[in-house]
Amino acid sequence: MGFFSKDIHSLDDLFVHTLRDIYYAEKRILKALPTMVEKASSATLREAFQSHLGETEEHVKRLEEVFRLHGVEARTVKCPAIDGIIAEAEEVASEVADPEVLDAALAAAAQAVEHYEITRYGTLIAWAKRLGRNDCATVLQRTLDEEKAADAKLTGLADAQVNMRAA
């Protein structure tokens, strides 16, 4: 089922499809984060990635809870957006030799991921509320709050350390 598939007939169908999209994305991020931890030369950046790895595991569990609450099967649909963001990050990282510049590239890539997640969770919360699923919205809001905090942490880290060292 593509994003603009004829299989999506209602806001509820769109909500479930988008849940499956972000579920795929979170699982894909779980696979990418250990490599980012390994490649980061900044101890603070490594710690931020490691911390977010634990949060991402919780995000997957929360999505599974939302699927359960909503009464649908927890499964993924391919998310070309997150695949593209991660592929771009891997490509740029493979072209950077200087470890401090690599840290700046990794932080920027992580922020691109966070921004994608923030848009998805914000949309899902709005749709859940419209569908009368405040229970789902509450669970999704916890994750959105963590994604925004991770983005703010990355911004602070980039501004205070990573980008300065790369310059």
pTM of the model: 0.92
Q: What is the pLDDT tens value at each position of the chain, 167 positions in all?
A: 455 556 899 999 999 999 999 999 999 999 999 999 999 999 999 999 999 999 999 999 999 999 999 999 999 999 999 999 999 989 988 889 999 999 999 999 999 999 999 999 999 999 999 999 999 999 999 999 999 999 999 999 988 888 889 98
Q: Token pair 């229970």 is at which residue?
A: 135
* The pair of three-digit structure tokens given for residue 126, joined into one six-digit string: 């709005």
35 is written with which tokens?
Answer: 């490599």
Task: Name which of 56, 53, 74 is nearest 65 in CA terms.
Answer: 74
